[in-house]
Structure 1
Amino acid sequence: MPELRYQLTFEGKVAPDDDMGAQMTIEATAPIPAGVDDVLRQNGSSASLNASVETDEYGGFTETGEIRFGVGTLRYVSRGEGFIEETEEPDIQQGCVIRRIDGGSGIFEGATGYIASTFTVDENARYCDSQSAVIFTG
């Protein structure tokens, strides 16, 4: 089973899906730099992320989403609950979540693994997510 790894920085926006902000959508893109496994750079030089987030009143959240590469799409779900909290900067929040890879399409059909995500969201809903992943493909 081939093992793929990446470290990418996604940038994009967070948008509420309801009036209370309990459900949100994230849309972001990341350039795929040199040094990332070559197979992930085939058929494109960027990846895109689309996710649905459900928050709770205590700063926790769960997430489902997908990350599209030129060679296929990874599907994921949060493993446990992620969290988001205030920082010393009044206009920025920070958080983290572990995402479990749950298959996908293209070369990611049947894939497993994990994505560690640490991110910030600013007062303008700008999202910046540093990801590190280990992916096993079938």
Structure 2
Amino acid sequence: MRSFLCTMLALSLATAAAATPAEIDAAFKASDAQVAADSEVRIVRFQSIMTGEFPRRQDGVAFKPAGRVLLPAGSDPILGSEPAPYITEIHSNSDGKGGFTDTGSIRFAGGELRFTAVYPTRNIETPLPGMRTTAMVEKVTGGTGAFEGASGYIMQFSTIDGDGFRTTLNGILFVRKMP
């Protein structure tokens, strides 16, 4: 625990000292490896962008957005390489108060990652005509392949313009160590 706290302090100091993104990424990787050293679980952090088009949502009906997921170079192999087509299926359900929750999955190179929204969200108009935005916290509920038994969270930030979307995903996953 002490070494973890020291690493977190070093991360804070590195960030405060205007460290480069590569230095911050290296500090996170070192901290994550140290925390998970004696565990059967490892930490996978990722940031990606999903772009594409989707059909209009219908309450309780699954829809499959079409697009690509862009991952930065050096991403974990279970996520895949850039740019990669993704397969996703989302079930959107109204909360009866103007909001909605999503449950779905994303197929990465290592298998399918399943998620469900933690709380309802809604599309919000932006200052740009015809553009809406939304933010959602998704809880990872497992998956297949390398994601079997996975847990964690994904933050999703989207802009929607007509039928097109651009979504930024920031995730932290806890997955089994690969043999």
TM tier, smaller: 0.7 to 0.9
Uncovered stretches (5+) of structure 2, i.e. residues with no partner? 1-40
* 3-state SS of 2:107 partner: strand
- For the pair 1:105 / 2:105, whether they are aligned, the reply is no
Q: Percent identity?
A: 28
Paired position in structure 2 for 1:5: 45
Paired position in structure 1 for 2:167: 129
**C-alpha deviation, 1:91, in angstroms:** 1.1
Paired position in structure 2 for 1:63: 102
RMSD over aligned Cα, in angstroms? 2.1
Aligned mates of 2:51, 2:171 — CA distance in 1: 17
* 3-state SS of 1:82 partner: coil
Paired position in structure 2 for 1:53: 92
Aligned mates of 1:107, 1:67 — CA distance in 2: 13
Aligned mates of 1:11, 1:65 — CA distance in 2: 17
Uncovered stretches (5+) of structure 1, i.e. residues with no partner? none
Normalized against structure 2, the TM-score is what?
0.66
Aligned mates of 2:160, 2:54 — CA distance in 1: 8
**1:28-63: per-residue Cα shift (whole Å, max 9, x none)?**
420222032244227x85252321212356441100
- Higher normalized strand content (fraction of residues): 1
Is the 1:115–1:134 Cα contact (8 Å) retained in structure 2?
yes
- Higher normalized helix content (fraction of residues): 2
Is the 1:47–1:70 Cα contact (8 Å) retained in structure 2?
no
- For the pair 1:83 / 2:119, whether they are aligned, the reply is no
Aligned mates of 2:133, 2:96 — CA distance in 1: 16
Structure 1 runs of 4+ with >3 Å offset: 55-59
Aligned mates of 2:85, 2:132 — CA distance in 1: 24
- For the pair 1:118 / 2:157, whether they are aligned, the reply is yes
- The count of corresponding residues between Structure 1 and Structure 2 is 133
Is the 2:139–2:152 Cα contact (8 Å) retained in structure 1?
yes
Paired position in structure 1 for 2:17: none
Aligned mates of 2:98, 2:127 — CA distance in 1: 16
Is the 1:12–1:26 Cα contact (8 Å) retained in structure 2?
no
**1:45-96: per-residue Cα shift (whole Å, max 9, x none)?**
5252321212356441100111111111100110011221100011100001
Paired position in structure 1 for 2:20: none
- For the pair 1:40 / 2:40, whether they are aligned, the reply is no
